Amino acid sequence: MTQDSTTACRDLIKAIDAKTVQIAIMGLGYVGLPLAVSFAMKGYKTTGFDVDPKKVAALNNSESYIKTIPETLISGMVNTGNFKATTDFSKLADMDAILLCVPTPLGENRDPDMSYVIGTTESVAEHIRPGQIVILESTTYPGTTTDVMRPILEKGGLKSGTDFFLAYSPEREDPGRQDFNTSTTPKVVSGDGADALMVADRLYRTIVETVVPVSSTDTAEAVKLTENIFRSVNIALVNELKLIFDGMGIDVWEVIDAAKTKPFGFMPFYPGPGLGGHCIPIDPFYLSWKAKQVGLEARFIELAGEVNTAMPKHVVDTTLSAIKEKTGKAPNQARVLLLGVAYKKNVDDTRESPSLELIELLENQNVAVDFYDPFVPTIPNLRRPGDLSGRASIEWSHDRLKEYDAALISTDHDNVDYQSLVDHCAIVVDTRNATRDCSSPNNNIVRA
């Protein structure tokens, strides 16, 4: 460590402690906006950067576009002067800490799409100055921070660890969760060198109760992938068990409920129509791709991906078989109501939702499909093939429910009257066990 880097490190820590540090959040989505709120509500001057002028205008007008973040929070931090949003990336030169919260999707061949990370890092590189810290929060493969970001940031002649600091701290947001939030969820932190780690650690301790430092950015990147791979593999396991138990006439939900009474050695996971959200359907393939780069195979990860990606087709096949058996209708004669397009219950987040694939698979067989979602009145613009954006949820009514040959429950929002659904729909295909407490005199509930 040089004297210059030591001095810059001390200066940044002093600014953090004095709350004079200027914080930039790049990307104001489901990760970036909660992070911006956390810093601003603690009294830190925070600037949100986004390429979407509609988001920027909404936030500056104290409007929230994420249901889990109330407008009272937005107006509070805007009115105090602790937060503003902008599309002007030249203002990055005025910032002290720059946090990147941008998407890391998959390409067509399930390889990492680093275009958002690279493009945003290039924007930072245009305005980087000595004494700043740049932190990536996006989920990615080991080596991204040092092998992808660092060379871009150093192109202008400044050096990481000497002139500026570079760190990685993976996001752990879970939209809609009530028991944990940004502040109470432990934060893994790493740095490209000891000074970078020290600054990042001090910065996050201002908003997070527990900080977990690790030895390298590669390790921190691997931590995040491990968390999501753990879920992906276990969800694939219960999805496969569901298919096996169905063939044996055994209710997998009853099995899981009984198994989870064991106080040790078991953790419940639940089957579903496929994986949703930005993390679990995508992140495991970042590691399997990286493994191939070093001549290794991630067989469990690939197998789990195959099982989970096959679930939407299984659900569609089950739905169409049930319609054919009960009504005699072919797919091109059938009408299906999909319940829920959000990827999980009680949120408005549609990222990688299996519901979207269910709609496409059904419509590929000429089925007429509508949807109902109390949290998603209109499907937003999506970074995926197919053009479902702009489609609107139907209005809930008993008469409307009777129009459909089948209702397909893909997302089990709490504020849906499932008994009414069972009472007024000829067939209810349930992928989430949402109808477990419903009476069905007509025996019209199908588990899928």
Q: What are the catalytic residues? A: 279
Strands across the sheet containing 335-339: 368-372, 335-339, 406-409, 428-430, 445-447
The alpha carbon torsion through 287, 170, 94, 26 (nearest 10 deg) reads 70
Query: Tokens 């889990």 belong to which residue?
Result: 68
Instruction: Determine the Cα–Cα distance for residues 256 and 268; give it in Å rounded to an integer.
Output: 6
Backbone angles phi, psi at 99, to 5 degrees: -110, 125
Q: Where are the alpha helices (DSSP H) in 249-379?
A: 252-259, 283-293, 299-327, 354-364
Rounded-to-integer distance, Cα 364 and Cα 108, Å: 20
Q: Which two tokens stand for residue 48?
A: 């949100």
Selection from 171, 145, 141 nearest residue 31 by Cα? 171
| Rounded CA separation 44/33 (Å) | 14
3-state class (DSSP) for residue 402? coil
Find the farthest-apart pair of alpha carbons in the chain and give their distance in angstroms, rounded.
80
Secondary structure element (H or E) that encloses residue 22, with its range: strand 22-26
Helix, strand, or coil (residue 134): strand
Please give the single-letter amino acid code of residue 174: D
Residue 93 is classified by DSSP as G
Q: Identify the three-state secondary structure at position 322.
A: helix
Q: Give me Rg for the CA atoms of the chain.
A: 24
Beta-strand pair 187-191/165-168: antiparallel
406-409/445-447 β-pairing: unpaired
Give the residues across from 269 on adjacent strands.
Answer: none
State residue 167 phi and psi, 5-degree precision: -145, 165
Confirm if 320 and 172 have CB atoms less than 8 A apart. no
